[in-house]
């Protein structure tokens, strides 16, 4: 029987592909060499080259210079999210840092260059750690122009217009409250909010039109689900694509537009040319996490992930069809048939229906079951190759996996997403209670052998299950999971204060509610063995979050396996740590779920 590492992909690729100006090369951040370095891949041949070997730094955002001869990228050290900016030639030479000042958060615009490649746009919180200013740096003479946002606005730069006149930026307050601003790079003046007249809502920036007369965006202005729209500089806003599901990615080239739709978790691609629908070849069932049109719009490069195949770079050509450019399949997938999940729904409170993914082993049951809870909380469990193949390894061992999209999940409308706002450990925990009831009624599942697991928010939810739901849990796993919501809110990154107050709560005004919903408050009710993994440099969930719970449990004699990865932040940027962590999780679950009762 294959071991866990036989299910681990050859590499993990971060979302955010960058396509060269001539459309012949794609740049990405991948960890095939051990860390997340900058790689480039030929679309014609599939040949990949690593451009950097940064050691303890991990590449995040990437953009090509307009002449295609160099790239800029951001990178942080050991997951601290204090990003610095670098430039490198396409042949891997002349690596230079182009950011100045102290360590801080730096966010590149998606399209950060003007057409000539002289000016670079990004956000930085060096002046005030709670405020993200916009910087337009002149790379020729190393000077910069700083654009200070209006009070209580947190800028995230999006794209410089093709004519170089405008910088599009977003003001992110929460995932359902995003406003768009235009900054006149030629005339100067104050940033202009172009979505203010529509009130509160989500307006996510997309690409500029080729003639700079407007830009595309995603918005929930017209209903529960996100639509694609076009905003023109004359002030008009019109939809260009509306579906009964969320439109989530969009790109354009000339008069060609392509977008992806999240249909119950699976991505479907759609395209138009000069306003008329055009057909596209079929893509494998999975999730498209990055999407970029080649010049002329006849092909698109995508990053696609599936439950039965790890994330890959692929090209979708209107003439020749779909073709993978990478092959990250691990050894086990060549000898074991991977399991695709079944999409199910179960009833919850107030007449709501919760969608989830149920993975059943091929062996006859009844099977022990892992309740796996996604992070966010504004995220979605989708058919992806998650946790470096952990699901497929557990299925091969005979352990079922159930991953529900409880209140707060994206993909099911704004109302479902907002249910969790300032109600962590409330409606979401009730949905998880109903999930267990659904599992108990399944004849092929053994809920006397049941574990809960999650990362980040999912770790909080898993700990809430173990401490507050009245079931016999066999085990639990928390990866970087918050245990005390008061300290979580108080210690969040400075630029997240407004977001955290909106989605979670204010640590001072809401201390009683946050304490009442914190797993550490119910530590004495936890009896199941626990595995807790934590990044020592985590800027979102400080290590004290896990340490305080571990101390409480160990004093009571509860078995706790606890490991702090001193050189990691919120998650894993180093392959060696990622593999060790998930291998520990696999062994822990097998040990506690496969025992005969």
Q: Which residues of 368-389 are buried (b: 16+ CB within 10 A; e: fewer)?
A: bbbbbbbbbbbbbbbbbbbbbb
With a cut of 80, say whether residue 588 has pLDDT above it. Answer: yes
Residue 333 lies in a domain: no
Could you tell me how far CA 517 lies from the centroid of its own chain?
25
Mean pLDDT of 325-337: 94
Distances (CA, A) of 333 to 3, 7, 481: 12, 7, 30
Residue 515 lies in a domain: yes
pLDDT of residue 597: 40
Among the candidates 177, 210, 243, a domain finishes at 210
Q: At 186, which CATH number?
A: 2.120.10.30
Mean pLDDT of 238-256: 94
Give the pairing type, strands 367-373 and 445-455. parallel
Residue 330 lies in a domain: no
Residue 456 lies in a domain: yes
pLDDT in tens, 229-240: 999 999 999 999
Torsion angle of the four alpha carbons 120, 122, 125, 128, in this order, in degrees rounded to the nearest 10: 70
Q: At 574, which CATH number?
A: 3.40.50.1820
pLDDT in tens, 162-188: 999 999 999 988 788 899 999 999 888
From its phi and psi, is residue 560 left (phi > 0), alpha (psi between -120 and 50) or beta? beta
Residue 188 lies in a domain: yes
Could you tell me how far CA 571 lies from the centroid of its own chain?
11
Mean pLDDT of 54-63: 91
With a cut of 90, say whether residue 445 has pLDDT above it. Answer: yes
Mean pLDDT of 13-27: 95
From its phi and psi, is residue 41 left (phi > 0), alpha (psi between -120 and 50) or beta? beta
Instruction: At 175, list the tokens.
Output: 């995932």
Percent share of the chain, pLDDT over 90: 74
Place of tokens 């770079």: 313
pLDDT in tens, 123-148: 998 888 888 899 998 988 888 899 99
| C-alpha closest to that of 184 among 126, 238, 145 | 145
Neighbour-count burial of 72, counting CB atoms closer than 10 A to its CB (0-12 exposed, 13-18 middle, 19+ buried): buried
Residue count of the chain: 597
Residue 41 lies in a domain: no
Measured CA to CA, the distance from residue 280 to residue 303 in angstroms comes to 16
- Cβ count within 10 A of residue 394: 30
Q: What share of the chain is helix, strand, coil (3-state, %, to 5)?
A: 20, 40, 40
pLDDT of residue 361: 97
Residue 92 lies in a domain: no
Mean pLDDT of 314-332: 94
Stated pTM of the model: 0.91
Which domain range does residue 402 map to?
Answer: 339-593
pLDDT of residue 55: 87
| 21 SS3 class | coil
pLDDT of residue 105: 87
| 438 SS3 class | helix
With a cut of 80, say whether residue 492 has pLDDT above it. Answer: no
With a cut of 90, say whether residue 444 has pLDDT above it. Answer: yes
User: Using an 8 Å Cβ cutoff, are 360 and 392 in contact?
Assistant: no
Dihedral pair phi/psi, residue 43, rounded to 5°: -70, -30
Mean pLDDT of 304-313: 96
Among the candidates 210, 225, 242, a domain finishes at 210
pLDDT of residue 295: 93
With a cut of 50, say whether residue 321 has pLDDT above it. Answer: yes
Residue 248 lies in a domain: no
Q: Could you tell me which residues are beta bridge partners of residue 29? A: 38
With a cut of 90, say whether residue 250 has pLDDT above it. Answer: yes
Among the candidates 156, 189, 210, a domain finishes at 210
Instruction: Look at 82 and 370; give whichever has higher pLDDT.
Output: 370
User: Using an 8 Å Cβ cutoff, are 52 and 59 in contact?
Assistant: yes
Q: Would you place residue 468 in the very low, low, confident or very high pLDDT band (cuts 50, 70, 90)?
A: very high
* H or E element, residue 110: strand 106-113
Instruction: At 228, list the tokens.
Output: 């694609």
Neighbour-count burial of 46, counting CB atoms closer than 10 A to its CB (0-12 exposed, 13-18 middle, 19+ buried): middle
Mean pLDDT of 517-534: 94
- Mean model confidence pLDDT for the chain: 92
With a cut of 80, say whether residue 564 has pLDDT above it. Answer: yes
Domain tally, the chain: 2
Distances (CA, A) of 350 to 354, 429, 430, 437, 591: 11, 14, 11, 16, 38
pLDDT in tens, 362-406: 999 899 999 999 998 999 999 999 999 999 999 999 999 999 999
């Amino acid at each position: 029987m294959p071991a866990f590492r036989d299910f681990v992909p050859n590499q993990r690729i971060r979302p955010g592909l960058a396509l060269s100006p001539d459309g012949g090369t794609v740049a990405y951040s991948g960890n095939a060499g051990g860390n997340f370095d900058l790689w480039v891949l030929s679309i014609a041949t599939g040949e990949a080259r690593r451009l950097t070997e940064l050691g303890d730094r991990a590449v995040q955002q990437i953009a090509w210079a307009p002449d295609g001869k160099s790239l800029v990228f951001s990178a942080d050290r050991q997951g601290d999210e204090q990003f610095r900016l670098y430039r490198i030639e396409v042949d891997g030479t002349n690596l230079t840092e182009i950011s100045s000042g102290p360590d801080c958060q730096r966010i590149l615009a998606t399209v950060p260059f003007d057409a000539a490649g002289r000016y670079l746009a990004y956000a930085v919180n060096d002046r005030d750690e709670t405020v993200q200013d916009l910087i337009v740096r002149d790379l020729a003479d190393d000077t910069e122009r700083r654009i200070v946002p209006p009070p209580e606005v947190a800028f995230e730069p999006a794209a410089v217009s093709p004519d170089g006149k405008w910088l599009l930026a977003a003001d992110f307050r929460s995932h359902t409250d995003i406003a768009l601003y235009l900054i006149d790079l030629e005339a100067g003046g104050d940033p202009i909010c172009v979505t203010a007249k529509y009130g509160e809502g989500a307006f996510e920036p997309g690409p500029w039109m080729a003639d700079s007369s407007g830009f595309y965006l995603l918005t929930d202005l017209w209903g529960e689900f996100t639509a694609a729209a076009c905003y023109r500089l004359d002030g008009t806003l019109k939809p260009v694509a509306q579906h009964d599901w969320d439109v989530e990615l969009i790109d354009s080239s000339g008069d060609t537009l392509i977008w992806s739709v999240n249909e119950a978790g699976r991505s479907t691609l759609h395209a138009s040319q000069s306003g008329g629908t055009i057909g596209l070849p079929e893509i494998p069932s999975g999730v498209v996490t990055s999407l970029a049109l080649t010049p002329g719009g006849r092909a698109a490069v995508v990053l696609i992930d599936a439950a039965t195949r790890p994330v890959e770079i692929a090209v979708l050509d209107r003439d020749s069809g779909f073709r993978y450019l990478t092959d990250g399949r691990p050894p086990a997938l060549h000898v074991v048939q991977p399991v695709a999940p079944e999409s199910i729904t179960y009833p919850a409170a107030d007449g709501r229906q919760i969608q989830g993914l149920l993975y059943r082993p091929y062996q006859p049951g009844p099977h022990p079951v892992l309740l796996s809870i996604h992070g966010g909380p504004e995220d979605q469990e989708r058919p992806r190759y998650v946790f470096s193949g952990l699901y497929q390894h557990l299925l091969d061992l005979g352990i079922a996996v159930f991953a529900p999209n409880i209140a707060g999940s994206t993909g099911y409308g704004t109302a479902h997403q907002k249910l969790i706002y300032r109600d962590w450990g409330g409606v979401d925990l009730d949905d998880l209670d109903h999930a267990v009831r659904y599992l108990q009624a399944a004849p092929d599942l053994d809920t006397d052998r049941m574990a809960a697991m999650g990362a980040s928010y999912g770790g909080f939810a898993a700990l809430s299950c173990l401490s507050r739901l009245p079931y016999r849990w066999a085990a639990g796993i928390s990866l970087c999971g918050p245990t005390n919501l008061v300290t979580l809110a108080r210690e969040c990154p400075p630029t997240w204060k407004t977001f955290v107050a909106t989605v979670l709560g204010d640590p001072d005004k809401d201390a009683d509610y946050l304490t009442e919903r914190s797993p550490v408050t119910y530590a004495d009710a936890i009896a199941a063995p626990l595995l807790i993994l934590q990044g020592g440099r985590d800027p979102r969930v400080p290590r004290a979050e896990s340490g305080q719970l571990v101390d409480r449990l160990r004093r009571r004699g509860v078995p706790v396996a606890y490991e702090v990865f001193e050189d990691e932040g919120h998650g894993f940027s180093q392959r060696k740590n990622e593999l060790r962590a998930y291998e520990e999780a696999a062994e822990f679950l097998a040990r506690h779920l496969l025992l005969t009762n």
